[in-house]
A and B are shown apart, each in its own frame.
Chain A
């Protein structure tokens, strides 16, 4: 069965053009013109990747993103009209895994989607069972436990945690994490890393404001405290 992409975009012409381009990549595309439509479609037939335009009539892209995140860890790509910090960070905070700024080349979108899909699969590569204080990571099962209780992470958050945990104590620069997790080169947006780390901390840290596991190394990046 081919990969299914749910494309949420209110502009009919853009939606059709993107659908054509994505279908050329061999993917099946479901269209949705409104946020309500998108949620309905997603309930009936969960997609493998969701593409959401932030500017939607009715419930906006952020809200659609949050609603999907409540029940699913499906990779989500946000489409923003502007790359200003507010929209990008709000989109990532709402649970998006990556973002693109309009107008983007469909080839770029395909590359992003492939990176997200690859990531979801490679995270199942087996690694030893890892334990850091109250934190327990079981990469094979895709499970993280804090104080013995399951912590629910999105696939990207999980991947960030495993990447850091595979070399505990080593400092990872934003650029390295962008490359390994999102498939970006040096010029990826560091905010992707920052917001994902922030989201990760709210889930795995007892006190997210004073992280004990995922710590910032000023000027260098992040590391997992041993």
Chain B
């Protein structure tokens, strides 16, 4: 039998959503990183260019003044629109306006380059902050002019930009996830239709079909689903027809046999002894045959799914007592919870009677006869238990006894020829149809014997 794997560990919808989220996150991160890098480069270049212009201007002033003036005075005369720290190298030492911005504030590589007569600029970190240093050698005055510009404000700007870009990426990823969720829901909506239809089919509405709709991608699914449903319906209807055909075919000869044997029974006294014995055997087996045919038909109707509950309002306690009384020659005591005395339930009377009759028959055949039937309220339901004093049902057979034509290993050992092994299977079917369950356990009072229990859900009606 083919079994097609439809799911992995994560649901289809979760996977689509996740893929969308990851995709969105990757894309937006890439975009953010590029944006950030470009912006940073742009801002820095801009700042460097404007700083360079200012520094050249100042260098010209230094060139004019240096030969005549004290370096410190020259420094004081310079304009500093960008807040740069000017430093003059007069051939011996570096003179700055403040002690922090002297020789040590300039990177060595820059100093070396400028001192040998090469203008240079350099970005570097000074005391934990980004700075730009520009140095211009002034050959005519035999000095060099340096300026250190803080880039920290740019760093702040870039940091703020970075934070907003990360935020934007996360929002984009979330939006991606939302889009994925929505898209997967849209994409999977037709599958919801499939599952609803399949469910309807499974609960017996065999004429369930899917609407093909306009979507060219979904039409094949709908078409194959409908083909399957049709095949299933045909098959089940064929089975149901077969059951009804068998019903008619078997019932007619049985009818003739039953009527003829009754006529013979009326003449029984006039028969020789041997013929009487044969007749008695026939009478017994006609009954058995009749029961077998009826059980088979009943169970084939379950298989064909053509079984319907015929619900009516039933006094449950009265029904059980009547059924027990009707089914047993010996008086089997029925124990009853007081609050159940007046309970009226919606039930199929015939089926409940069959269930109790079959359980009592079973107890009679394999448990030496039922010796107690009890009825009690459990939660939302009613529990009906039939107890016997037989050998009980071994643990490993407790599921199996409700299967068809299975009388359990104990029954096999006893070699009983009574019964056809459909009784308990029918009990299970009838009880399931009522939405209840059935099982067998050991007796609760510690004695040896079986306790067959059915539990029926109860909707009270007064």
How many positions in chain A have a CB within 8 Å of any CB in the partner chain? 26
Note all chain A residues with C-beta closer than 8 A to B257.
17, 103
Known A14-B256, A20-B263, A219-B462; contact A187-B251, beta-carbon cutoff 8 A: no
Q: Least Cβ distance of B303 to chain A in Å?
A: 15
User: Is A121 an interface residue, CB under 8 A from the partner?
Assistant: no
Q: Least Cβ distance of A78 to chain B in Å?
A: 15
Residue pairs across A and B with CB atoms within 8 Å: the count is 79
Note all chain B residues with C-beta closer than 8 A to A176.
none
B326 touches A14 (CB 8 A): no
B255 touches A104 (CB 8 A): yes
User: Is A11 an interface residue, CB under 8 A from the partner?
Assistant: yes
Chain A 167-200 interface 0/1 with B at a Cβ cutoff of 8 Å (1 = within)? 0000000000000000001110110000000000
User: Is B260 an interface residue, CB under 8 A from the partner?
Assistant: yes
Chain A 14-45 interface 0/1 with B at a Cβ cutoff of 8 Å (1 = within)? 10111011001000000000000000000000
Note all chain A residues with C-beta closer than 8 A to B312.
190
Note all chain A residues with C-beta closer than 8 A to B326.
185-187
B248 touches A21 (CB 8 A): no
A103 touches B260 (CB 8 A): no
Given contacts A13-B252, A24-B262, 19 further A-B contacts (CB under 8 A): A13-B253, A14-B252, A14-B255, A14-B259, A17-B256, A17-B257, A17-B259, A17-B260, A18-B255, A21-B259, A21-B262, A81-B244, A81-B248, A82-B244, A85-B308, A102-B254, A185-B322, A187-B349, A219-B344
Chain A interface residues toward B at CB < 8 A? 11, 13-14, 16-18, 20-21, 24, 55, 81-82, 85, 102-107, 185-187, 189-190, 218-219
Residues of chain B in range 240-286 having any CB-CB distance to chain A below 8 Å:
244, 247-248, 251-260, 262-263, 266
How many positions in chain B have a CB within 8 Å of any CB in the partner chain? 31
CB-CB nearest in chain A for B322: A186
Note all chain B residues with C-beta closer than 8 A to A190.
312, 349
User: Is B170 an interface residue, CB under 8 A from the partner?
Assistant: no
Show 17 residue pairs from A and B whose CB-CB distance is below 8 angstroms, ordered by the A residue: A14-B259, A17-B258, A17-B263, A21-B260, A21-B262, A24-B263, A24-B266, A81-B247, A102-B251, A103-B251, A103-B257, A104-B258, A105-B258, A106-B258, A106-B262, A186-B322, A187-B349
Within the assembled complex, what's the spacing in Å between the Cα atoms of A197 and B248?
31
User: Is B313 an interface residue, CB under 8 A from the partner?
Assistant: yes
Chain B interface residues toward A at CB < 8 A? 244, 247-248, 251-260, 262-263, 266, 290, 293, 308, 310, 312-313, 318, 322, 326, 344, 349-350, 353, 461-462
B263 touches A81 (CB 8 A): no
A20 touches B310 (CB 8 A): no
Known A82-B244, A186-B326, A190-B312; contact A11-B263, beta-carbon cutoff 8 A: no
* Contact among A18, A103, A185 with B254 in the assembled complex (CB-CB below 8 Å): A103
Within the assembled complex, what's the spacing in Å between the Cα atoms of A14 and B247?
15
Note all chain A residues with C-beta closer than 8 A to B293.
103
Note all chain B residues with C-beta closer than 8 A to A20.
259-260, 263
CB-CB nearest in chain A for B319: A186
Within the assembled complex, what's the spacing in Å between the Cα atoms of A57 and B349?
34
Within the assembled complex, what's the spacing in Å between the Cα atoms of A185 and B322?
10
Note all chain B residues with C-beta closer than 8 A to A21.
259-260, 262-263
Note all chain A residues with C-beta closer than 8 A to B244.
81-82
CB-CB nearest in chain A for B353: A187
A18 touches B259 (CB 8 A): yes
Within the assembled complex, what's the spacing in Å between the Cα atoms of A102 and B258?
10
Within the assembled complex, what's the spacing in Å between the Cα atoms of A207 and B349?
31
A103 touches B349 (CB 8 A): no
Note all chain A residues with C-beta closer than 8 A to B248.
55, 81
A82 touches B247 (CB 8 A): yes
Note all chain A residues with C-beta closer than 8 A to B260.
17, 20-21
CB-CB nearest in chain B for A102: B251
Nearest 9 pairs of A and B residues by beta carbon: A17-B259, A103-B255, A103-B254, A186-B322, A102-B251, A13-B256, A219-B313, A20-B263, A17-B256
